[in-house]
Structure 1
Amino acid sequence: MNYLTYHDLEKENKHGFTAGEESLTEESLVVREMVIPGMLGYPDMHIRHIHLTFREQQYLIISMTDYELDETKRLEICAGAVKFLKERSEIN
């Protein structure tokens, strides 16, 4: 399975998608879904997994945000991932 990482972290000024360099395998370590408590002025970090199929390929989107995702935001992330993947395939 392929994977993408989505960041929306205000304090770190990290926003957007990055593609994984390799595919996930059974031996791959993936951060599980959780809320990591904030420290030293940083807010809580919410890690969530979203599954997406794009051009018959399965993708795991690992989102890292400083807020909990609602259904609307999950759909926005999926739409952004499709746009990201389309742009990436046009370059290659």
Structure 2
Amino acid sequence: MNYLTYHDLEKEDKHGFTAGDKSLTEESLVVREMVVPGMFDYPDMYVRHIYLTFRTQQYLIISMTDYELDEAKKLEICTGAGKFLKERSERN
């Protein structure tokens, strides 16, 4: 399975998508869904998994945000991932 990472972290000023270098396999290590407690003036980080099918390919989106995702934000991330993947495929 292919994967993308989505960041929306205010303090780190890290926003947007990054494509994975390789496909995930059964032996790949993936951060599990969790809330990582904030430390040293950093807020909690929410790690969530979202699944997306784009042009018959399955993708795991690993989101890392400093807020909990609601359904509207999950949809927004999926829409953004589709645009990201489309632009990426047009460049190649």
- Scaled by the length of structure 2, the TM-score of the pair is 1.00
1:14 aligns with 2:1: no
Match of residue 70 from structure 2:
70
Give CA-to-partner distance per residue, 1:25-79, whole Å, 9 cap, x none.
Answer: 0000000000000000000000000000000000000000000000000000000
Distance 1:82 1:51 in 2: 12
1:23 aligns with 2:23: yes
Residue number in structure 1 paired with 2:49:
49
1:91 is the counterpart of 2:91: yes
The runs of 4+ residues in structure 1 deviating greater than 4 Å are none
- Cα distance in structure 1, aligned partners of 2:60 and 2:73: 16
CA distance in 2, matches of 1:13, 1:27: 31
| Structure 2, unaligned runs of 5 or more | none
Root-mean-square deviation (CA, aligned residues, Å) is: 0.2
| Identity rate, percent | 84
Does 2:35 match 1:35?
yes
Displacement of 1:11 after TM fit? 0.1
CA distance in 1, matches of 2:88, 2:13: 23
